[in-house]
Amino acid sequence: MQITNSLRKLVMASLFGVYAINALAQEHDIMVVANIDNQTVKLDKVDIRNLFMGNASDVVLEPVSLPPQTLARAVFNTKIIGLTESRIQSYWSQMRFSGRSRPPKEISTVDELISYVSSHKDTVAFVPASAEIPAHLTVVYSTAKM
Amino acid sequence: MNAKFNVKLSAAMLCSCLLASPAVLASSEKLEISGFGRVVAGFTDDRDVSFEGYENELSFQEQTLLALQVDYHLLDNLTITSQLLAHTNSERDSGVEWLYASYVPHSNWLVKGGRMRTPFYHYSDVIDVGFAYPWISPPQQLYSAFLFNQYDGASVIHNFALGNFSGSVEGYYGSFNGDTQFQDRRYATNIDGLTGLVFSGVYNANLRLRASYSTADFSVNLAEISAFADQLRSFGFVESADSLTMEGEFDIYQVGLALDELDYNLAWEWMRIESDTVLAPNIESYYVQGGLVFQPFTVHLTYADMATNPQGAATDIPLGLAPDLDQLYYAYQTVFARTQAADLESITLGVRWDAGVRVAFKAEVTHYRGALGISTFEAVGDRDAFDERVNLYQLGMEFVF
């Protein structure tokens, strides 16, 4: 009985844990920022998806990401990539172990990510919409209504 | 390779990666260690046949494996990659599965040379990476071990973008000299002039398509059957001998489409194998698959079908002329019948639970319908009792690191 109870708790926790992060993702916004010279550049969702999924793209920028299970990444997956984290992981295992491409570099916190993009030309990253961005970075996309 | 050695190899690999990875990664970005593994258990509900090694008895051996990938970046654009694999299936070799150098002369070009996996179908080159696909056993009609899965050669990949379409073209050339496994037995195989072209692309970043063509000259030594064919040839029955000889040219055509959305996915893949050899019949297979995502679970349903086009037996051994010839005639007919392929139809219902970022558990049941044949079921009990219906039950754990 106790085992069934703990099993139920475990299943519920994992179910609602993920539901919670998805529901939360809907309520939050992110922006995509790039370190580029031309500050008038805007990207569309397909450009960004291609960049972050390692597909060839007309835009040549180095994508940098946050680790799985961070809120900004959940928002990015849900609103821009359009795939769940598990599907993205499974996709990257196919790319990596068939020697085709590798997932974007991951940086553990938003502050470190912003400072990495600030100091590296031609990089692109997503950050929470509320993050403070240095003036020389360009917001190339935002999920918030402007 | 025996099971004991496999276990030792697995243990050694596991230790070396556990010991090596954090330390080495911290000290240098030149070396990257990653890997994948799977623990799969399965059994069928039929006592009369075996299917891809599975019988009416729970087995963990058929697909359980552990692999370690080492990438060493010699230069910014030059990497050496090796994949070591330890397998519990005694019919599969453990050891170096991939060993190649990859060179990126320009951001849209990738050149690889060495020992690689043959990219026949969408998941062919990651067939051991269960984490990469929804099933425990990808549709056998396309992904059976019927074909060889490695080659030594070179491959060139070019990526390009055209508006909302992002594509790549791969050309490869090579050869293979080793064993092919089917129905749990291994046969010495020679593949020459393997040439292939793969076109793949993504439209709107979520609709994937893939089309490929490959061709090669092949010869497979079928042990006793080849010996019998040689005997027939020495008696002058060339047509009969040829019909039991696995030698010739094959062509493989493949087309696939896959749509991935946040809460569902759809996939379809089709292939056709043509060959000029009686023993290797023309085969046409496809599957359609749909999945619904209820995070962290994905429930999927797959229908798959394989149609073979077997050719008739040779007619150059006369019947009724002499008792010795009659005996040879019947021996030939029996051997010929045992080497025939059969059609196979299946429905698979499965669930994948992504329990963590790098661990997934899967369960699936497949209902197969098909006759005995080299491409399907092998009789282990009474050949005549087999009702041509088998259920295969599997449970698996997949992980990457």
Q: Chain B: give the shortest CA distance to residue A57, in Å.
A: 5
Structurally, how many domains does chain A consist of?
A: 1
CATH, residue A98: 3.40.190.10
Interface test with A, best of B33, B72, B351, B354 (most A CBs within 10 A): B354
Query: Is B36 in contact with A93 (Cβ distance < 8 A)?
Result: yes
Rounded mean pLDDT, B65-83: 95
DSSP string, A53-95: TT---SS--EEEEPPTT-HHHHHHIIIII-S-HHHHHHHHHHH
Residue A32: is its pLDDT beyond 80?
Answer: yes
Q: Which of B45, B44, B88 is nearest to B67 (CA)?
A: B88
DSSP string, B207-222: EEEEEEEEEEEEEEE-
CA distance B300 to A132: 43
Q: What is the pLDDT of residue A116?
A: 97
CA distance A89 to A101: 13
Residue B350: is its pLDDT beyond 60?
Answer: yes
Residue of B nearest to A53 (CA): B205
Examine residue A69 and state whether it is found in any structural domain, yes or no: yes
pLDDT in tens, A76-104: 999 999 999 999 999 999 999 999 999 99
Examine residue A2 and state whether it is found in any structural domain, yes or no: no
Q: What is the pLDDT of residue A8?
A: 61
Rounded mean pLDDT, B204-208: 90
Query: Is B296 in contact with A14 (Cβ distance < 8 A)?
Result: yes
Residue B32: is its pLDDT beyond 90?
Answer: yes
CA distance A138 to A55: 22
Q: What is the pLDDT of residue A27?
A: 79
Examine residue A4 and state whether it is found in any structural domain, yes or no: no
Per the listing, tokens 């059969």 go with B342
- Cα B160–Cα B168–Cα B301 angle in degrees, nearest 5: 130
Query: Is A56 in contact with B159 (Cβ distance < 8 A)?
Result: yes
Residue B369: is its pLDDT beyond 60?
Answer: yes
pLDDT in tens, A97-142: 999 999 999 999 999 999 999 999 999 999 999 999 999 999 999 9
Residue B17: is its pLDDT beyond 50?
Answer: no
Residue A19: is its pLDDT beyond 70?
Answer: no
Q: What is the pLDDT of residue B306?
A: 95
User: Is B83 part of the contact surface with chain A (CB cutoff 8 Å)?
Assistant: yes
Tell me how long chain B is: 401
Kindly indicate the confidence band of residue A4, based on its pLDDT and cuts at 50, 70 and 90.
Answer: low
Q: What is the pLDDT of residue B11?
A: 44
Q: What is the pLDDT of residue A130?
A: 93
User: Is B308 part of the contact surface with chain A (CB cutoff 8 Å)?
Assistant: no
Examine residue A23 and state whether it is found in any structural domain, yes or no: no
Q: Is B108 exposed, middle or buried (0-12, 13-18, 19+ CB in 10 A)?
A: middle
Residue A30: is its pLDDT beyond 70?
Answer: yes
Cα-based distances in Å from B66 to A85, B37, B40, B75, B261: 24, 4, 11, 28, 30
Alpha helices in B238-351 (DSSP H): 238-243, 323-338
Interface test with A, best of B70, B120, B126 (most A CBs within 10 A): B126
Rounded mean pLDDT, B7-35: 55
Is B40 within 8 Å of B136 (Cβ atoms)? yes
Q: What is chain B's mean pLDDT, rounded?
A: 89
User: Is B228 part of the contact surface with chain A (CB cutoff 8 Å)?
Assistant: no
Examine residue A87 and state whether it is found in any structural domain, yes or no: yes
Can you list the positions of beta strands (E) in B94-243? Answer: 95-106, 109-117, 150-162, 165-182, 185-203, 207-221
pLDDT in tens, B216-265: 999 988 888 889 999 999 999 999 998 888 889 999 999 999 999 999 99
* Order of strands, sheet of A62-65, starting from the edge strand that comes earlier in the sequence: A105-106, A62-65, A123-128, A30-34, A138-142
Among the listed ranges A51-60, B20-29, B103-112, which one has the minimum average pLDDT value? B20-29
Interface test with A, best of B98, B118, B131 (most A CBs within 10 A): B131
* Number of other residues whose CB lies within 10 A of the CB of residue A87: 22
H or E element in which residue B231 lies: helix B224-234
Q: What is the pLDDT of residue A13?
A: 52
Residue B13: is its pLDDT beyond 80?
Answer: no
Q: Chain A: give the shortest CA distance to residue B63, in Å.
A: 17
Q: What is the pLDDT of residue B29?
A: 77
Query: Is A55 in contact with B202 (Cβ distance < 8 A)?
Result: yes
Q: What is the pLDDT of residue A58?
A: 86
3-state secondary structure (DSSP) of residue A1: coil
| Cα of B311 vs its chain's centroid, Å | 24
What is the residue range of A46's domain?
Answer: 28-142
Look up residue B304 and give its two tokens.
Answer: 């798959």
| Pairing mode, strands B185-203 and B207-221 | antiparallel
Examine residue A54 and state whether it is found in any structural domain, yes or no: yes
- Cα A7–Cα A12–Cα A14 angle in degrees, nearest 5: 95
- Residues of chain A found within 8 Å of residue B115, distances taken between Cβ atoms: none
Cα-Cα-Cα-Cα dihedral sign, residues A18, A19, A25, A27: negative
Max CA pair span of chain A: 64
Query: Is B126 in contact with A98 (Cβ distance < 8 A)?
Result: yes
Examine residue A6 and state whether it is found in any structural domain, yes or no: no
Residue of A nearest to B158 (CA): A56
CA distance B200 to B255: 10
Query: Is A84 in contact with B262 (Cβ distance < 8 A)?
Result: yes
Interface test with A, best of B260, B263, B401 (most A CBs within 10 A): B260
User: Is B129 part of the contact surface with chain A (CB cutoff 8 Å)?
Assistant: yes
Examine residue A21 and state whether it is found in any structural domain, yes or no: no
Rounded mean pLDDT, B183-210: 91
Residue B122: is its pLDDT beyond 90?
Answer: yes
Q: What is the pLDDT of residue B89?
A: 82
Look up residue B68 and give its two tokens.
Answer: 């370690």
CA distance B226 to B245: 6
Q: Residue B75 — left, alpha, or beta (φ > 0 → left; ψ -120 to 50 → alpha)?
A: beta
Residue B366: is its pLDDT beyond 60?
Answer: yes
Q: What is the pLDDT of residue A146?
A: 54
Q: Chain A: give the shortest CA distance to residue B175, in Å.
A: 19
Among the listed ranges B47-51, B269-273, B349-353, which one has the minimum average pLDDT value? B47-51
- Residues of chain A found within 8 Å of residue B116, distances taken between Cβ atoms: 99
